[in-house]
């Protein structure tokens, strides 16, 4: 292989690395922010309704009903803001929230060991309060994972910037190299989004591994296609 061919092969490999790195970096950072926002909103919801129940302005049963409905709305809204991988992971962990009837039964049995309907009014109110409090609780393991992925995403951004700077610095035609970086990244990002969407359709919404593979393969194909097209046009 002559030096020019080796240089072209190295450029292609570095561009693919940069594109894939940015593909996952943007998703990890976005999902960490979505998770943090979800926790903040549900905790505020729980605090406000606990205060209203304590003040006697809203009965415990009504408060539990409203909190349950609002929490599901917040969950649905936040999932709309998640990345394809984040959404697949979230659906895999919890496809749908429990109904209010299921929650009252769950907490009645865990707290009192009997069916909800057999409880006296005071105990039922304690179950409703438990539902209100649980709205502000999040899984610690999920929170830790989201935080770590956010940090990883920021680290990947640094790596991708470093690769881009190297590519431009080593290029003889720097304006062309800068334009190529933008085209390859755009192609990789579009390919990753398409690959994730197709994998979600093929494997179902709760298959994070399948969607991740789709993002990776789609991103690689998109980046390579954009690189080839750029070289052909320019």
The full DSSP string for 72-86 is: HHHHHHHHHHS-HHH
Domain assignment present for 196? yes
Domain assignment present for 82? yes
First to last CA, the chain: 24
Examine the pLDDT at 80 and tell me if it is beyond 90: no
Q: Are residues 136 and 186 in the same domain?
A: no
Share of the chain above pLDDT 70, in %: 75
Give me the mean pLDDT over the 101-119 stretch.
92
Q: What angle do CA 38, 214, 88 make, to 5 degrees?
A: 25
pLDDT at 209: 73
Q: Are residues 164 and 62 in the same domain?
A: no
Q: Are residues 17 and 101 in the same domain?
A: no
Domain assignment present for 136? yes
The whole-angstrom separation of Cα 232 and Cα 211 is 31
Q: Are residues 38 and 137 in the same domain?
A: yes
Give me the mean pLDDT over the 188-192 stretch.
71
Give me the mean pLDDT over the 24-39 stretch.
83
The predicted-structure confidence for 198-211, as pLDDT tens digits, reads as follows 766 777 666 777 77
Q: Nearest CA to 182 among 164, 166, 195?
A: 164
Q: Are residues 107 and 168 in the same domain?
A: no
Q: Are residues 114 and 155 in the same domain?
A: no
- Using the 3D structure, point to which of 118, 141, 164 is the last residue of a domain: 141
Examine the pLDDT at 124 and tell me if it is beyond 90: yes
When mean pLDDT is compared over 24-38, 109-123, 181-195, the highest value belongs to 109-123
pLDDT at 11: 60
Q: What angle do CA 40, 45, 48 make, to 5 degrees?
A: 120
The predicted-structure confidence for 168-188, as pLDDT tens digits, reads as follows 777 777 777 777 777 777 777
Q: Are residues 15 and 53 in the same domain?
A: no
Q: At 2, is the pLDDT very low, low, confident or very high (cuts 50, 70, 90)?
A: very low
Mean pLDDT over each residue of the chain, to the nearest integer: 78
Distance set, CA 143 to CA 5, 65, 96 (Å):
47, 26, 19
Give me the mean pLDDT over the 200-228 stretch.
71
Among 3-7, 45-49, 116-120, 131-135, the least confident range: 3-7
- Using the 3D structure, point to which of 112, 141, 170 is the last residue of a domain: 141
231 versus 70: the higher-pLDDT residue is 70
Q: Are residues 156 and 168 in the same domain?
A: yes
- How many domains does the chain fold into? 2
Give me the mean pLDDT over the 136-164 stretch.
72
Domain assignment present for 129? yes
> In the 8-state DSSP scheme, what is residue 114?
S
Q: How many residues does the chain have?
A: 234
Domain assignment present for 206? yes
Q: Are residues 130 and 155 in the same domain?
A: no
Examine the pLDDT at 230 and tell me if it is beyond 70: no
**Contact status, residue 154 vs residue 29, Cβ threshold 8 Å:** yes
pLDDT at 8: 60
Domain assignment present for 146? no
- Using the 3D structure, point to which of 123, 141, 159 is the last residue of a domain: 141
Q: Are residues 134 and 42 in the same domain?
A: yes
Residue 92's domain comprises 31-141
Examine the pLDDT at 217 and tell me if it is beyond 90: no
Structure tokens at 161: 């910037």
Residue 69 CB: number of other CB atoms within 10 A? 11
Q: Nearest CA to 124 among 106, 102, 109, 104?
A: 104
Q: At 14, is the pLDDT very low, low, confident or very high (cuts 50, 70, 90)?
A: low
Q: Are residues 112 and 38 in the same domain?
A: yes
Q: Are residues 131 and 167 in the same domain?
A: no
């Amino acid at each position: 292989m002559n030096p020019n061919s080796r240089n072209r092969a190295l450029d292609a490999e570095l561009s693919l690395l940069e594109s894939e790195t940015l593909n996952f970096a943007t998703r990890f950072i976005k999902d960490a922010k979505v998770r943090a926002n979800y926790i903040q909103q549900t905790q505020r919801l729980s605090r406000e309704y606990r205060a209203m129940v304590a003040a006697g302005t809203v009965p415990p049963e009504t408060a539990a009903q409203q909190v349950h409905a609002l929490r599901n709305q917040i969950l649905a809204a936040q999932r709309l803001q998640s990345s394809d991988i984040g959404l697949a992971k979230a659906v895999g962990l919890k496809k749908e929230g429990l109904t209010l009837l299921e929650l009252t039964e769950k907490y009645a049995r865990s707290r009192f060991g009997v069916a909800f309907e057999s409880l006296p009014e005071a105990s039922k109110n304690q179950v409703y309060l438990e539902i209100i409090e649980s709205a502000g609780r999040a899984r610690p393991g999920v929170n830790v994972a989201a935080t770590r992925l956010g940090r990883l995403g920021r680290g990947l951004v640094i790596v991708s910037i470093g690769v881009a700077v190297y590519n431009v610095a080593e290029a003889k035609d720097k304006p062309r190299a800068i334009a190529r970086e933008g085209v390859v990244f755009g192609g990789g990002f579009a390919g990753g989004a398409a690959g994730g969407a197709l994998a979600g359709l093929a494997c179902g919404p709760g298959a994070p591994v399948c969607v991740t593979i789709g993002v990776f393969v789609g991103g690689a194909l998109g980046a390579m296609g954009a690189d080839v097209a750029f070289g052909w046009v320019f």
